[in-house]
């Protein structure tokens, strides 16, 4: 089985919704890194050096490659990336190797067979 790493950077109030839609699309779990910071095309305003914007979370999903695009599209839709510039970003990268997924592979086999 081959895997992709999906990385989504979203406002923290969207994290639960993103997790829900990713699971519905086939993700078996995620790692959430809270309080991520970033800066887009237009820097945000500050007040005495404090940024006046909500915190971001970084969500890391290790998913089977046949499910990755569907999950990525659901994340983008739920987060409103296309409708709301600056609302976040999500992307995928190839995973060369992974260890520790034995329990998830059995769960994925049935679902991936339908995709092939």
Read off the pLDDT of residues 48-105 as tens digits, 9 standing for 90 and up.
Answer: 665 556 678 999 999 999 999 999 999 999 999 989 887 889 999 999 988 887 777 7
Task: Output 41 or 21, whichever has higher pLDDT.
Answer: 21
pLDDT of residue 110: 67
Q: Which domains does the chain have, with CATH numbers?
A: 3-38+51-115 (3.30.70.120)
Write down the pLDDT at residue 1: 79
In this prediction, residue 14 carries a pLDDT of: 93
Name the region of 72 (left: φ>0; alpha: ψ -120 to 50; beta: rest). alpha
- Percent share of the chain, pLDDT over 70: 74
Residue 14: closest CA among 92, 87, 90:
87
Q: pTM of the full predicted structure?
A: 0.79
pLDDT higher at 3 or 111: 3
């Amino acid at each position: 089985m081959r895997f992709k790493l999906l990385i989504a950077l979203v406002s923290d109030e969207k994290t639960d919704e993103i997790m829900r839609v990713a699971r519905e699309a086939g993700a078996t779990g995620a790692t959430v890194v809270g309080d991520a910071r970033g800066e887009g095309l237009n820097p945000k305003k500050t007040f005495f050096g404090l940024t006046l914007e909500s915190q971001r979370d970084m969500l890391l999903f290790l998913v089977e490659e046949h499910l990755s695009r569907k999950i990525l599209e659901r994340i983008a839709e739920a987060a409103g990336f296309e409708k709301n510039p600056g609302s976040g970003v999500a992307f995928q990268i190839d995973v060369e190797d992974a260890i520790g997924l034995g329990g998830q592979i059995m769960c994925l086999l049935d679902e991936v067979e339908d995709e092939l």
